[in-house]
A and B are shown apart, each in its own frame.
Chain A
Amino acid sequence: MNMLTDAAIENALDKTPAREAVKMRGSDVRVFYGEKQALFDVNLDIGENQVTALIGPSGCGKSTFLRCLNRMNDTIDICRVTGDITLDGEDIYNPRIDVVELRARVGMVFQKPNPFPKSIYENVAYGPRIHGLASAKNDMDAIVETSLQKAGLFNEVKDRLHEPGTGLSGGQQQRLCIARAIAVSPEVILMDEPCSALDPIATAKVEELIDELRENYTIVIVTHSMQQAARVSQRTAMFHLGNLVEVGPTDKMFTNPEDKRTQDYITGRFG
């Protein structure tokens, strides 16, 4: 961590405060996989009802940071997280916090669509069912329908809700996973390269969807595609070798980055 980077972060935060209120905040986040340190003192705010894009070359720690935000790193035995991460001002690594409840508030969509080998309906109903969000069948039907509608999938699947979710196309599967995440009414949705396994048409649909979801949800998206970050996000954070290099409004990051590494990366000189 050099002085220049610290200064850059400070600058970015000062000049461009998150437009809305801060939903999540990471302070001095460090992550270790066994002996190896994967993140170095990351300070990053996630603005409410914004799309924050995390970019950077492979292995730079952006996915690691994302997985800290809903404590998915807990499932990896050797992973250790220090520093503070807050959700609405509350420390999510506080022992009193129930990780089950946290993940209901901070949902996640993965790189590869991973629908459960169940029907489309059951895939969406999975979350509400385990969290007891619907008692009557009517309520559940309503939740499933609105979630699928919000994910822009309902019209395509309404006649085959009880067919397996694994039978959908890749893009449809990914939107099904988004619907599944939405169904528990999370406040934040984390997306880990959600379009990397999709073709351009399905990608466009998912990006459109992300833009619509911004109204109601706070979204953090990890992406390898500069164009995607530019298209869907309002704020962009650039990671490199486990450091947060720079963060700022997306248009500024792509037109006038402060850090040379950001400039090199988005112009394709490395990464």
Chain B
Amino acid sequence: MTGYLFLAILALSLVAFYVGRSTASRFVASHGAEVHSRPLYHGAFAAVWVGVPALILVVLWLLSQDGLIDRLILASLPASVTEGVSASRLSLYLSEIKNVASGRIFSEPSPEILAAAERYQRWQAIAGWAMVVVALAVSAIALYLARIRMAPKFRARQSFERALDIAMITSAVVAILVTIGIIVSLTYEALQFFRLVPPQEFFFGLNWEPQIAIREDQVAGTGAFGAVPVFTGTLLIAAIALVVAVPIGLLSALYLVEFASERFRGIVKPILEILAGVPTVVYGFFAVLTVAPAIREAGSLVGLSISPNSALAAGGVMGIMILPFISSLSDDALRAVPQSMRDGSFAMGATRAETITRVLLPAALPGIVGGVLLAASRAIGETMIVVMAAGLTATLTANPLDGVTTVTVQIVTLLIGDTSFDNPKTLSAFALGLVLFVSTLCLNVLALRIVRRYREKYE
């Protein structure tokens, strides 16, 4: 029923739009140029008046209706049932009433419960119809009010634009609120974790064995929550990715900007950008099925024993993944260096190489650094490739041929299977997530600041 109500309100506001527009068209016909706003704005104004208050009302109604009815139902239960009963017992009653009301009967309900369930059904229906009536009434009154305000001199455009302003502010606030919500929930659970495991162990401990028992009957290790090897693993893989991506990305951008013909550039640049559109899971199985065995075999040819989940395979493929970030942001940065800089340098008798290394790269450096930092934060936060291609054991090593694990891999494994929010195993995922979030956030802020400063330079 709620869905139909939404549709009805939308249809009403569409009607209001046409009513408003045709009213204003009549103004134009009778008053000519005196009419302040275009008919379109009168229509939009009427549509907003009819639609928005009613929709807000419905949403608020739905949010409060259940709580209200629940409380009324509990209050209506005879005192003999509720006398001296704990809160959790009461909520059990409530869910039993709801189950009975919706026809899911597990055991023979007591007559009080049956009566309450009947009341519940009745009140639900009343509330639903009341909502429809009130919402449609609000729409109708709003349409009437809007029609009264409409006049040739009425500033419908300003009113409508104010409504748009509010809509935009609301959208922005929603995005911010969601971010704040994520931070709060991460922080809250992370604090729970640090109540169980001291922060110094987490931040400085060298052992990571979080697979401890969640239920009493599980057989598992005693656990260790030293996150250092996890973070070094992440850094190692991200570093390998950057070692692969930075030179290739930068050189390809340089080639495309400074040397390639327009035609070649027109073909190659979109292809490079396709790399950014490959799903990471595809990169993941490319890494685990193609690259890792290749590296392993190449290693065995020269007598190296390489772990099947080497950091090199995961990092190398991740490097390919972040390549488009670096090449395309460097490309933009190099392109933004004005031609007059190149001319100035050539006119001094500088060669192309001198111009590139001494003028272009320094001038474009902030943009390039910004691109590298964005790519780095992407590499650190990347999950799918490492889940598939990197290892699970947290080894403290700088050897790219060993298997390492990363923060994201650990979060995934910690939250798969049983979870329990009073157990450090589950909660440690939130601590890892918080640290990861803070570090990529810092990288992003830094990168954006650098990019912004550089943008101001040539205006």
- CB pair B347–A184 under 8 Å, yes or no, is no
Q: Does A1 contact B (CB under 8 A)?
A: no
Distance from B363 Cβ to chain A, minimum over Cβ atoms (Å): 5
Between-chain CB contacts (< 8 Å), 19 pairs: A70-B347, A72-B346, A72-B347, A75-B342, A99-B349, A103-B349, A104-B348, A104-B349, A107-B348, A112-B340, A114-B343, A114-B344, A116-B363, A117-B341, A126-B345, A127-B348, A130-B351, A177-B344, A180-B348
* B338 CB, min distance to chain A CBs, angstroms: 7
Assembled-state Cα–Cα distance A102/B348 (Å): 9
Given contact pairs A116-B341, A116-B359, A130-B358, A107 touches B347 in the complex (Cβ within 8 A) = yes
Asked whether, in the complex, the Cβ of B348 is within 8 Å of the Cβ of A126, the reply is yes
Closest to B344 in A: A114
Asked if A110 CB lies within 8 Å of chain B CBs, one says yes
**B195 on the A face (CB < 8 A):** no
Q: Across the interface, which residues of A come within 8 angstroms of B343, CB to CB?
A: 72, 75, 110, 114
Looking at the assembled complex, report how far the CB atom of B108 sits from the nearest CB atom of chain A, in whole angstroms.
84
A130 and B353 alpha carbons, distance in the complex (Å) = 11
User: How big is chain B's contact interface, by range?
Assistant: 10 to 19
Contact in complex: A184, B457 (CB < 8 Å): no
How distant is the Cα of A115 from the Cα of B457 in the complex, in angstroms? 12
Q: Which B residues are in CB contact (< 8 Å) with A75?
A: 342-343, 346
A107 cross-chain contacts in B, Cβ below 8 A: 347-348
On whether A110 and B362 interact (CB within 8 A), knowing A131-B349, A181-B348, the answer reads no
Which of chain A's residues has its CB closest to B353's CB? A130
How distant is the Cα of A31 from the Cα of B350 in the complex, in angstroms?
A: 24
B342 / chain A contacts, CB cutoff of 8 Å:
75
Residues of B within 8 A of A104 (CB): 348-349
| B-contacting residues, A174-190, CB 8 Å | 177, 180-181, 184
- Proximity string of chain B (330-369) to chain A, C-beta cutoff 8 Å, 1 when within and 0 when not: 0000000010111111111111001000110011000000
Q: How far, in angstroms, from A115 to B345 measured CA to CA in the complex?
A: 10
> 19 more A-B contacts (CB under 8 A) besides A104-B349, A110-B347?
A72-B346, A75-B346, A103-B348, A104-B348, A108-B347, A110-B340, A112-B340, A114-B340, A114-B341, A115-B344, A116-B341, A116-B345, A116-B362, A117-B341, A127-B350, A130-B349, A130-B358, A131-B349, A181-B348
In the assembly, what is the distance between CA of A70 and CA of B344, in Å?
Answer: 12
Closest to A115 in B: B344
Is chain A's interface secondary structure helix, strand, loop, or mixed overall? helix
Chain B interface mostly: helix
**Would you give the shortest CB distance from B405 to chain A, in whole angstroms?**
43
A107 to B349, CA, bound (A): 8
Contacts of A70 in B (CB 8 A): 347
Task: Report if A103-B346 is in contact (Cβ < 8 Å); known contacts: A117-B362, A166-B457.
Answer: yes
By a CB distance below 8 angstroms, the chain B residues around A103 are 346-349
Bound CA span A103–B355, Å: 14
Query: Contact at B354–A114, with CB atoms within 8 Å?
Result: no
Give the residue among A100, A104, A112, A130 with the most B Cβ atoms within 10 A: A130
Closest 10 CB pairs of A and B: A103-B349, A114-B340, A108-B347, A104-B349, A127-B348, A114-B344, A100-B349, A117-B363, A130-B354, A130-B350
Q: Is the CB of B349 within 8 A of A101?
A: yes
A132-152 vs B, Cβ < 8 Å mask (1 yes, 0 no)? 000000000000000000000
Complex alpha-carbon distance, A188 and B287, angstroms: 60
A23 within 8 A of B: no
Q: Give complex CA distance A181, B340 in Å.
A: 14
A261 within 8 A of B: no
Chain A contacts of B347 at CB under 8 A? Answer: 70, 72, 103, 107-108, 110, 181
Closest approach, in angstroms, between the C-beta of A190 and any C-beta of chain B?
8
Q: Which residues of A contact B354 (CB under 8 A)?
A: 130
Interchain CA distance A127-B345 in the complex, whole Å: 8
The CA-CA distance from A70 to B362 in the complex, in Å, is: 26
B residues less than 8 Å from A131 (CB atoms): 349
- Chain B residues in 8 Å Cβ range of A166: 457
In the bound complex, do residue B348 and residue A184 qualify as a contact, i.e. CB atoms below 8 Å apart? Answer: yes
Q: How far is the CA of A108 from the CA of B340 in the complex (A)?
A: 12
Taking CB atoms, residues of chain B closer than 8 Å to A108 are 347
Say yes or no: is A118 at the interface (Cβ < 8 Å to chain B). Answer: yes
Q: Nearest residue in B to A103 (C-beta to C-beta)? A: B349
Complexed CA–CA distance, A18 and B452 (Å): 53
Contact, CB under 8 Å: A102 / B349 = yes
Q: How far is the CB of B290 from chain A (nearest CB, A)?
A: 41
**Which residue in chain B gives the minimum CB-CB distance to A180?**
B348
Q: How far is the CB of A54 from chain B (nearest CB, A)?
A: 17
Cα–Cα, bound, A107→B350 (Å)? 11
A131 to B363, CA, bound (A): 21
Residues of B within 8 A of A115 (CB): 344
Complex formed: what's the CA distance from A177 to B344 in Å? 9
Given A116-B363, A117-B362, A117-B363, are A110 and B344 also a contact pair (CB < 8 Å)? Answer: yes
CA gap between A181 and B345 in the complex, in Å: 10
A225 CB to closest chain B CB, in angstroms? 21
The docked-state distance in angstroms from the alpha carbon of A118 to that of B457 is 12
How far is it, in angstroms, between the C-alpha of A57 and the C-alpha of B349 when the chains are bound? 30
Chain A contacts with B in 78-134, Cβ cutoff 8 A: 99-104, 107-108, 110, 112, 114-118, 126-127, 130-131
Which residues of the other chain, A, contact B351 by a CB distance below 8 angstroms? Answer: 100, 130
Give CA–CA (A30, B342) in the complex, Å.
Answer: 25
CB-defined interface of A254-270 with B at 8 Å, one 1/0 digit per residue?
00000000000000000
**Bound CA span A114–B344, Å:** 7
- Chain B nearest CB, measured from A263 CB (Å): 34
Residues of B within 8 A of A118 (CB): 362
Residues of chain A with a CB closer than 8 A to B457's CB: 117, 166
Residues of A within 8 A of B363 (CB): 116-117
- Docked complex Cα distance between A177 and B358 (Å): 16
Q: In the bound complex, what is the Cα–Cα distance between A112 and B458 (angstroms)?
A: 13
Residues of A within 8 A of B345 (CB): 116, 126
B352-404 at interface with A (beta carbon < 8 Å): 354, 358-359, 362-363
Q: Using Cβ atoms and an 8 Å threshold, which residues of chain A touch B346?
A: 72, 75, 103
Nearest to B363 among chain A residues (CB) is: A117
Q: How far is the CB of B238 from chain A (nearest CB, A)?
A: 30
Complex Cα distance A92/B341, Å?
Answer: 24
Q: Which residue of A lies closest to B454 (CB)?
A: A117
Q: Which residues of A contact B341 (CB under 8 A)?
A: 114, 116-117
What's the Cα separation between A130 and B354 when bound, in Å?
7
Shortest Cβ gap from B260 to chain A (Å): 12
Least CB distance from A262 to B in Å reads 30
Once A130-B358, A166-B457, A177-B344 are accepted as A-B contacts, the answer to whether A114 and B350 lie under 8 Å apart by CB is: no
When distances are taken between beta carbons in the complex, the residues of chain A under 8 Å from B358 are 126, 130
